[in-house]
Structure 1
């Protein structure tokens, strides 16, 4: 299962991507409960839909586009709470630990 978190926006309007590729049974068993805890059907799938859904979003804040296998979600920074925060933080930490996503620019993402 491939998991990626793309963070866009902010004052500098920079894009960062963190990716984890959980292939082993151990890795899948570790990541699956984190992914399953997120309410995928309750949130928009694209940044544009997120902007419409979360009208009144604060300017210069981050937007997170999250993928896990076939699942997609897009959330403004203020909505990345609970299980979403766990998934985003763990993906970022795991990618940075493995060297596979040190806040790499989107053009250099590992897709």
Structure 2
């Protein structure tokens, strides 16, 4: 299972993408639990704000788009974990 997080927008408008293969992680059961617990179907669309980030999170069959102000709780945990794997933390 692959998780892809893309961040775009912000002041410079640069897109950054991080991804992780859950099966390759030593704590893959914790990843699976986190992914199962996300409120995939409860995300409401919000208008992006100027100079703020927009996050697109994909983990088939799910995909959500979150404005920066919606990134909290388990969504923030997921984004931080995916970034950490890609940045070697």
TM-score, scaled to structure 1: 0.72
Q: 1:24 to 1:94 in 2, by over 3 A?
A: closer
Say which of 46, 54, 65 aligns to 1:54: 46
Count of matched residue positions in the alignment of Structure 1 and Structure 2: 89
Give the gaps of 5 or more residues in structure 2: none
Which structure 2 residues correspond to residues 4-43 of structure 1 after superposition, within 5 A? 4-24=4-24, 26-43=26-43
- Give, in whole Å, the separation in 1 of the partners of 2:42 and 2:7: 20
Superposition deviation, residue 64 in structure 1: 0.1
- Tell me what 1:48 maps to: none
- Give, in whole Å, the separation in 1 of the partners of 2:26 and 2:43: 28
- Please, what is the CA RMSD of the aligned residues? 1.9
- Give, in whole Å, the separation in 1 of the partners of 2:56 and 2:18: 11
Give the gaps of 5 or more residues in structure 1: 45-52, 99-111
- Tell me what 2:58 maps to: 67
- Deviating 4+ runs (over 6 angstroms): none
Matched, 1:97 2:66: no
